[in-house]
Structure 1
Amino acid sequence: MDTSFASASILPPVLDGTNYSLWKVNYIKSIDERTWQRVINGWTPPVMLDQEGDNLPKPETDWTADEVQNSNYNSKALNAIFTSVDMNMFSLITNYTSAKSACDALQRHCEGSESVRRTRLRMITSKFEMMRMEESENILDYDRRLRGIANEAFSIGDPISNERLVSKVLRSLSERFNIKILRNR
Structure 2
Amino acid sequence: MAQTTGNFSTNLPVLDGSNWARWCIQMKAIFGYQDVAEIVEDGFSILEEAATEVQRNEYKQSKRKDCKALCIIHQAVDNAHFEKIAGSATSKEVWETLEKHYAGAAQLKKIRLQTMRRRYELMQMEESEKISEFFTRIITHTNSMKSCGEKMDDATIIEKILRTVTPRFDHVVVAIEGSGKVERVKVEELQGSLEAHEQRMNERGANRSSHQALQAQENGPRKWPKKILTI
Larger % of helix: which? 2
Q: Counterpart amino acid of 1:171? A: K
TM-score, normalised via structure 1 length: 0.52
Q: What RMSD over aligned residues (CA atoms) do the two structures have, in Å? A: 4.7
* Residue of structure 2 equivalent to 1:166: 155
Check conservation: 2:85, 2:97, Cα contact below 8 A: yes
TM-score (norm: length of structure 2): 0.44
- Residue 74 of structure 2 corresponds to residue 85 of structure 1: no
Question: Does structure 1 retain, via aligned residues, the 8 Å contact 2:74–2:82?
Answer: no
Percent identity between the two aligned chains:
10
- Output the CA distance in 2 between the equivalents of 1:147 and 1:32: 32
8 Å Cα contact 2:13/2:27 also seen in 1: no
Alpha carbons of structure 1 residues 106 and 42: separation in structure 2 relative to 1, 3 Å: same
1:59/1:127 CA distance change after superposition, 3 Å:
farther
How many residue pairs are counted as aligned between the two chains? 151
Q: Report the CA distance between 1:80 and its aligned residue.
A: 1.3
> Is 2:13–2:76's contact at 8 Å kept on the other side of the alignment?
no
- Structure with more relative contact order (C-alpha pairs < 8 Å, separation 6 or more): 1
Q: CA deviation at 1:122?
A: 1.6
Alpha-carbon spacing, 1:78–1:30, altered in 2? closer, same or farther (3 Å): same
Q: In 2, are the aligned partners of 1:93 and 1:102 still within 8 Å (CA)?
A: yes
Query: Structure 1, unaligned stretches of length 5 or more?
Result: 1-8, 15-19
The structure with more radius of gyration: 2
Q: Distance in 2 between matches of 1:131 and 1:71?
A: 53
Structure 1 residues 119 and 140, CA gap change in structure 2 (3 angstroms): closer
- In 2, Cα distance between equivalents of 1:123 and 1:58: 55
Residues 105-141 of structure 1 deviation map (CA, whole Å, 9 limit, x = unaligned):
43256x27x4x45432321212332345662528985
Q: Residues of 1 paired with 2:157 and 2:112: CA distance?
A: 20
